Amino acid sequence: MPELVVTALLAPSRLTLKLLRAFMWSLVFSAALVAAAVYGCIALTHVLCWPRRGCCGRPRRTPPACLSDPTLGEHCFLTLRSSGLRLHYVSAGQGNGPLMLFLHGFPENWFSWRYQLREFQSRFHVVAVDLRGYGSSDAPRNVDCYTIDLLMADIQDVILGLGYSKCILVAHDWGALLAWNFSIYYPSLVERMAVVSAAPMSVYQDYSLHHMGQFFRSNYMFLFQLPWLPEKLLSMSDFQILKTTLTHHKRGIPHLTPNELEAFLYGFSQPGGLTGPLNYYRNLFRTFPLEPQELATPTLLLWGEKDPYFEQGLVGAISSRFVPGRLEAHILPGVGHWIPQSNPEEMHQYMWAFLQDLLD
């Protein structure tokens, strides 16, 4: 068929897609402006309530002692083959079994896996990375350095760079979003997955379009589409919005100590420490609309019944995309978003049972 005819036949579809994307971006930025107004009022209220903290975050010059806890493992760096970036990771149990790779979420770092590092190092080589842009890992400033494709290449480089051909991938929040994608595009590198509190991007997209309540739960995502302003608002009154996110009596991490809170704030308080993590969100809508994808990697999915950020209905939506018999899903009653830190014992029980046949 002549190229001109093919172009003419495809023109209506291409125009429709462009119009759809233009409409989507207009909605995203409208929501971003509304979110900016709301979070701006919240940040200003914090400044007025605690004027001595000022309008900026206090830089932490010394990392808290818990980040150097020797029981969690050895601190190492790996230069990635694809990008040349250096990623920081904590490793324990090398030689004890298969690689178990942990991917953290926002606003966290490798330290969010402290309970799991202690629990599984006796039977696995456990490795918790600081994803690019976080903690001691390299943090390029450009938004284009945080696309999903580049972040998946990082995971591939970590697995192969550590000398393995596959791993057990354990992931939460943003790390889980990356893990879902990675299991689709690099299935040979993932033997099993344990995913906590996050849905695949295509599932989240389709579910949100039919359940508007999910958009309200994820309102912060729209704020993070804007340049520089989110960094400013999150740092005001010495990072009070982040502090509230992590320590709120209902939505935060139960029993988080001041020292553990500082383990997360330390990296964000460094110059440019918030820009890399927020650039993950600034790439979220670039691939809209996404095609439905079949999920086949054997996966343990843990979800909090009281998760304030993601509706419970997403679990059913995820299940509908799975090859039968490949997903084991559990909804934890009365539990929120931060399962690896709030309910480590329950998580460990489910994981040991899920992985038992690999250890026999």
SS3 category, 332: strand
Please state which of the four CATH numbers 3.40.50.1820, 3.50.50.60, 3.40.50.720, 3.30.9.10 is assigned to the domain occupying 19-359: 3.40.50.1820
Which residue carries 């991007």 as its tokens?
A: 201
Provide, rounded to the nearest whole percent, the portion of the chain with pLDDT above 70. Answer: 93
Assess whether pLDDT exceeds 60 at residue 176. yes
Half-sphere exposure of 1 toward its Cβ, with a 13 Å CA cutoff?
A: 7
Clarify whether 173 is annotated catalytic.
Answer: yes
Catalytic residue from among 89, 281, 309, 350: 281
Encode pLDDT of 140-168 as tens digits: 999 999 999 999 999 999 999 999 999 99
Catalytic residue from among 46, 88, 172, 337: 337
The reported pLDDT for the residue numbered 299 is 98
The reported pLDDT for the residue numbered 200 is 96
Higher pLDDT, 84 or 360: 84
Strand partners, 170: 102, 194
Strand pairing report for 167-172 and 125-129: unpaired
Assess whether pLDDT exceeds 90 at residue 8. no
Encode pLDDT of 39-58 as tens digits: 999 999 999 989 888 888 89
Mean pLDDT of the chain: 93
- How much is the pTM? 0.94
Assess whether pLDDT exceeds 90 at residue 18. no
Encode pLDDT of 181-203 as tens digits: 999 999 999 999 999 999 999 99
The reported pLDDT for the residue numbered 255 is 94
Task: Please say whether the beta carbons of 155 and 260 come within 8 A.
Answer: no
CA-to-CA distance for 344 and 120, rounded, in angstroms? Answer: 12
Q: How confident is the model at residue 360 (pLDDT cuts 50, 70, 90)?
A: confident
Clarify whether 281 is annotated catalytic.
Answer: yes
The reported pLDDT for the residue numbered 198 is 97
CA-to-CA distance for 106 and 277, rounded, in angstroms? Answer: 7
Catalytic residue from among 154, 173, 206, 307: 173
Say if residue 289 is preceded by a cis peptide, omega within 30 of 0: yes
Clarify whether 144 is annotated catalytic.
Answer: no
* Domain spans, the chain: 19-359
Assess whether pLDDT exceeds 80 at residue 24. no
- 299-304 sheet: strands from edge to edge: 74-79, 86-92, 125-129, 99-103, 167-172, 190-196, 299-304, 327-332
Rg (CA), the chain: 21
Assess whether pLDDT exceeds 90 at residue 101. yes
Provide, rounded to the nearest whole percent, the portion of the chain with pLDDT above 90. Answer: 84
The reported pLDDT for the residue numbered 241 is 97
